[in-house]
Amino acid sequence: MTEIERKLDSNGIRPTAMRILIYKYMAEKNNALALTDVEQAFLKAERTTLYRTIKTFEEKGIVHQIDDGTGVLKYALCEPGCNCEIDRDLHLHFHCNSCDKTICLTQHKIPHINLPEGFMAEDANLVVKGICDSCSAY
Amino acid sequence: MTEIERKLDSNGIRPTAMRILIYKYMAEKNNALALTDVEQAFLKAERTTLYRTIKTFEEKGIVHQIDDGTGVLKYALCEPGCNCEIDRDLHLHFHCNSCDKTICLTQHKIPHINLPEGFMAEDANLVVKGICDSCSAY
DNA sequence: TTATTAATTGCACTTCTGTTGCATTGTTTA
DNA sequence: TAAACAATGCAACAGAAGTGCAATTAATAA
Ligand SMILES: [Mn+2]
Ligand SMILES: [Mn+2]
Ligand SMILES: [Zn+2]
Ligand SMILES: [Zn+2]
């Protein structure tokens, strides 16, 4: 049993061949991925299978969904300390206007926002857009 | 020439009947609206016309688009002091999980976020989700 | 091991939102 | 008034997300 198989198994996900491949693929990328990205990487696989695999990962808490404002949902593996199912891991996300990649800034938490009287915060989403480190390195 | 006609005109928008109606409708709502919301309010109007009207408003800088994370784009009139075209008016938005309305918190600006080395911010989007003042008033 | 049951995958199809092309109608300007 | 331009109506398209169901595959009980 490999590292990945153990990871999936311990989260109540049956480690099928497809799931292991997708997990591995997501793990080796350091940016968030859209379903179409995964599709491109596994051209012979069914879109629905990829879709449901990612959804399963999400439900089981090993992947979180990111709305980066592009209109396409992105997904990224949860970092070791990420507790996105428990009380939502409020780290921010960065979307590069140049390379179009979206990445998790896991250690950058969303600052506390004080709201007007009567408003109660339960969750928050902060996306910063600009130029990423790779693209600004010229 | 009414107030609204003057407003449209001064922003380079020809004040047609439809545009005046839509502007009026958006002005009397205090929450952001989806295209479908406007559609519901003007059942006899063409969706495309509504769509293009809003887009025109946006281009001319009297309306700004809001991505509240619901997957449906929302639009709201810019407040008097809003300079969303110039350098992006970075106020935050609140989405109520109860009534599903999204509102502009115009005076609540997005706090400055310091990013890792090499990252340059150009824009930001902050959406806080929770319970709005109307819904919490029980 | 074999039969039964449950989970996963493949395929087809649907819904929703956003968007565009183009002909028609309406408005402005020479 | 005629030409030029802008707005609208209608049709159709594109992309993403999601569902139903049959066919496979894997797990479990007998
Ligand atoms: Mn993340
Ligand atoms: Mn706003
Ligand atoms: Zn980049
Ligand atoms: Zn509410």
pLDDT band at residue A84 using 50, 70 and 90 as cut-offs? low
Report the interhelical angle of A17-28 vs A47-59 (nearest 10°): 70
What pLDDT shows up at residue A86?
59
What pLDDT shows up at residue B101?
97
B53 CB less than 7 Å from any atom of strand D: yes
> How many Å from the CA of B116 to C1' of D16?
32
d(CA A2, CA A8): 10
How far apart are the CA of B84 and the centre of ligand 2, in A? 9
d(CA B126, CA B67): 9
What pLDDT shows up at residue B82?
73
Is the pLDDT at A23 greater than 90, yes or no? yes
Q: Show the tokens assigned to A110.
A: 């969303």
pLDDT band at residue A58 using 50, 70 and 90 as cut-offs? very high
Give the predicted TM-score (pTM) of the model: 0.92
Best CA proximity match to B90, nearest among B136, B48, B126, B52: B126
Alpha carbon of A60 to those of A84, A86, A91, B122: distances in Å? 11, 11, 19, 34
Segment A33-43 mean pLDDT: 97
d(CA B75, CA B53): 12
Residue A16 phi, psi dihedral angles, 5° rounding? -80, 165
Tally of domains within chain B: 1
What pLDDT shows up at residue B85?
62
Best CA proximity match to B84, nearest among B5, B11, B3: B11
Is the pLDDT at A85 greater than 70, yes or no? no
Q: What is the mean pLDDT of each run of 10 residues along chain B (138 residues)?
A: 92 96 96 97 96 97 96 94 69 96 95 94 96 91
Domain that holds residue B117: 3-136
What pLDDT shows up at residue A47?
97
What pLDDT shows up at residue B84?
66
- Closest residue to D16 measured CA to C1′: A72
pLDDT band at residue A92 using 50, 70 and 90 as cut-offs? very high
Q: Which chain B residue's Cα is nearest to A108?
A: B115
> How many Å from the CA of B129 to C1' of C7?
35
Mean of pLDDT over chain A: 93
Q: List the helix and strand counts (H, then E) for chain A.
A: 5, 6
Is the pLDDT at A82 greater than 90, yes or no? no
- CATH number (domain holding residue B67): 1.10.10.10
Is the pLDDT at A118 greater than 80, yes or no? yes
